[in-house]
Structure 1
């Protein structure tokens, strides 16, 4: 006992790099023959944590053998441990007595595995590193005195959130279920959508401390093999202490380009991820978060919504056009107002110009200062509405906006037209389905306002040109970010601004998928009066 305490004390006095090497050596240490030594080692390794339960029992009908059962309280299904392990191994149950002719501990262990344990998931373990990882993941460890090998028995049973409706991606028509924080629940939700043997899943453990499960899911034969290999390579390259959310993975594997635009798409809806997998993309699931990443990501993906494919093609097309209009309003609304009222008043009708001049007569600030003040105020109110308790957030946001806007106009600080422009811009930014892209346009709004205040419409045009050139230079896992707009592909415009009928979208995107292009056979024919029922 004193040896272990002294060892822990000496480890604390080592430098950080040497402590990591020492911990790594401890993780790679193999199990001892003595069960007592193994129990003591596990206790010291885990700091005698009170939630680690170690149960010692005697097994065997003839010669008794001492066995140890390890599990973590709160992460393991206790009823299953009692019913399928302890009761099965106790010699007082006649139906589970071991063969008295088997006297070797190794043979006893094999009989336990083959004849006694009535559980499905059993793996061998011979190192303390694998043992502690499985133990702290909710699995049960079974060790036998006199054996340098044990079992990892899958009996995870922690409390997790039930499958509920997504709160960030709401739809009127379509599935209501959303991902949860449990990675196994999430993979099951996707497999319910795609019941195909080519839907492959690979799981890695990332994070030296957290050892978070990260899964890669794709459809073999549809996904591009080079993209799958690149995803594996970038994930294997990660060397970090902790992965607590998929945002960690997103930052570590995205393109090393300074850009405000998201180059990885994410969603918390199983139907969206299933649709992306069927396009030939790769999904990355992280344990502990309902947000699933998708690569490669295209600019057009952030403008589309799940409901676009559940309603008629004409309605979906109209809504997409509305979204693109809202993008321009969200990005250029204040900038155009500043440029026109400051440099290009001749573009306005005379009556409107006279009205704006009358409104601004008592305002002491320029249009640019007005816009900045109102935009910053609007962002503060929006952020406050997100962080406040839900019971009062909506009321405070609405009342705060009305009171501040009305008081600012009556005090002569802000013109009424500027309040209208900023309010319309803020509302337009909420139309975009993807919050990340909405945040990007909110950020880019301010540089364009500066260009408009400095150079008028000429500055806005230069800013738009620079923005388009930047977008054309971006790639996501080797795929051009603006495809199929740039490079332009006429055939793939069927699912961009317009949404063609389902029977017209016969092929998958060619820049993403090169293995299996055709998704539907062209056998559509217009219904006649006879075969349509009259």
Structure 2
């Protein structure tokens, strides 16, 4: 088959297999030039002004060639020349424009990709008072530009992967070559190369595939919606993973106490940072423990309360038809249902319905004598505390473990409460995040890392976290 017939056959196959393909045939000095693209993925202004118009207006003295078109005619900035005809369909599906000359062995790939995307907006999940307001979007190019804008270092490496047999989703692994530890960088790359799935819809897919233990409740990889937070982690020696189509970047490795850290802590006063970190730790333990402690006191250990309060508590529970374990479990389930409903409701009415629903249902349950007033306060406080974490993924685990604590305490009393905490601590201590202990820097204990974490003072933190084993330990 000659070259001309070969390309005609390829074009016919593409027209058959890709239904929304567009083909423009130009006649240039007795030479057929085919311009092939997918309209919905193409910047048509760029196609018209930078490809078609220059090709038609050029003053030809001989037949056009691939070399002549690339070097002297087209205005597109991103052009490559390819020999392998089997890749034409893949390039088209990526939003590229293909220029074919029937008498040439090579063809041109011009980057005219354009897809509708939202502009950079303020973060919604990781909102804060004192921090930049540019959050990641669903465009991988926009997200990488935000990182390049902040880190102007030639050692910043961006390695690209295509993940998903059918979606061929672009995934970028970003790190600083002379800071990040090569061991977990290569481990992340290896796991990405070993992902075999039809498609990747969101960064959560990648998070599941590269996590070391998928059967644990605790996340081993953090998320970041804010570009400043992602850049700060990269400068620490961590790896940032950006997935095309997701507005949440992944940060690895990640230790447990780092989920309690927020960008505001590093921008505000040292004392404010210490205070807010303490509040978050208190909020975490309150969410995990408060309902279980109520069950322990009411059902098993009422004698630890002052006598007057025992009588008050007993009188408030006179009309309650169920025991403390059932009462707390039902109220916690109702609160979780309201939380889930408020997320799925339209944004304009979701928060209002969630707040009003909680107040109305709680008041009605107390008035009907189904629950005691104290449990409404406890469950509401537990709910409020669950919103205090900068990274919601860790609190999702705590919310589930809360039910385990309630059940163990309801069956075994204070012994069950202590046993539940012991099991959680053992589980946390057994997890690694890409070889980094999940309990670092608490265990193994490192004084400098712990001091820098608590104080969040960039001025006194002269070294990067030791538990990350960075190549360059000096920060300043």
Cα distance, 1:500 vs structure 2: 4.3
Question: Residue 425 of structure 1 is aligned with which of 377, 382, 404?
Answer: 382
Please say if 1:483 is aligned against 2:440.
yes
Q: Secondary structure at the match of 2:119?
A: coil
3-state SS in 1 of match to 2:40? coil
For structure 1, the 5+ residue unaligned runs are 1-29, 521-534
Q: 1:31 to 1:455 in 2, by over 3 A?
A: farther
Unpaired segments ≥5 residues, structure 2: none
Equivalent residue for 1:139?
96
TM-score, with length taken from structure 2: 0.97
Q: Which residue of 1 aligns with 2:60?
A: 98
1:511 is matched with which residue: 457, 464, 467? 467
Answer whether contact 1:255 1:476 (CA < 8 A) is retained: yes
Give the Cα separation in 2 of the matches to 1:205 and 1:475: 27
Q: State which drifts further: 109-118 or 163-172.
A: 109-118
Q: Structure 1 residues 31 and 272 mapped into 2: Cα distance closer, same or farther (>3 Å)?
A: farther
Partner residue, 2:47: 81
Does the CA contact (< 8 Å) of 1:34 and 1:146 recur in 2?
no
Partners of 1:216 and 1:39 lie apart in 2 by: 35
- Equivalent residues of 2:233, 2:251 under 8 A apart: yes
- Find 2:15's aligned residue among 19, 38, 43: 43
Distance 2:263 2:333 in 1: 32
Structure-1-length-normalised TM-score: 0.87
How far apart, CA to CA, are the structure 2 residues paired with 1:128 and 1:275?
A: 43
The separation in 1 between residues aligned to 2:272 and 2:122, in whole angstroms, is 24
Tell me, in whole angstroms, the C-alpha distance in 2 between the residues paired with 1:202 and 1:318: 39
Q: Residue 249 of structure 1: which of 186, 199, 206 is its match?
A: 206
Contact preservation (8 Å) 1:32, 1:148: no
Larger Rg: 1
Q: Which stretch shows the higher mean deviation, 142-151 or 319-328? A: 142-151
- Other structure's SS at 2:466 match: coil
- Assess, with a 3 A threshold, how the Cα gap between structure 1 residues 306 and 505 changes in structure 2: closer, same or farther: same
Tell me the residue number matched to 2:25: 56
CA shift digits 1:199-234 (9 cap, x unpaired):
111111111100111111100100001111111110
Distance 1:347 1:129, change over 3 A: farther
Contact map agreement 2:208 2:214 (CA 8 A) in 1? no
Count the aligned residue pairs. Answer: 475
Q: How far apart, in 2, do the equivalents of 1:437 and 1:277 lie?
A: 21
SS in 2 for 1:390: coil
State the Cα distance separating 1:175 from its structure 2 match. 0.3
Is the Cα–Cα contact under 8 Å of residues 34 and 147 in structure 1 kept in the other structure? Answer: no
| Cα deviations by residue, 1:153-199 (Å, 9 ceiling, x for unpaired) | 01112221100011111111110110111100000000111011111
**SS of equivalent residue, structure 1 residue 362:** coil
